[in-house]
Amino acid sequence: MSTGKPKDADFQMVAVPGMSKPPLPPATSSSAIVEYTPVFKEEEEDLEIKLRRIIDNVPVRVSNTSGSSAGSGSGDFHQYRQMRRKEQDRLARMEVDYQRRKGLAEFSMRREERLKAAEERTAKK
């Protein structure tokens, strides 16, 4: 009969070669053990590593938290309406951002062309 506790023979400590722990922060009066990972400067960090870290840390929202019963409750329509409104707002923000970026890119291209034309006009004289 098991008591729920592991026996001493169930554990074996194994040293992994090549693995090193991150440096610990300076000792304080607290005896709590905190895992400390150093933050790299942006110049030192590769873009792929940064992208992977961002993707791994993106929170996942579970908006449909209803139970597994077959019927729909009285609040399901309101949840649907709220989710739809949030998605429509997100798409509208994305569209506005795209139009703004597109306008800035077109403006900078026209500006560069005008500066080149002005430079050519002044260089001829």
Residue by residue, pLDDT tens for the chain (125 residues) are: 556 555 555 656 666 666 566 666 555 555 556 666 666 666 566 777 888 888 888 877 776 666 666 677 788 889 889 989 999 999 999 999 999 999 999 999 999 999 999 999 998 65
Q: What is the pTM of this model?
A: 0.44
Residues 6+ apart with CB under 8 A from 3: none
Helix (H, G, I), strand (E, B) or coil at 54: helix
**How many separate helices (H) and strands (E) can be counted in the chain?**
2, 0
Q: How far apart are CA 103 and CA 107, in angstroms?
A: 6
Locus of tokens 């870290």: 53
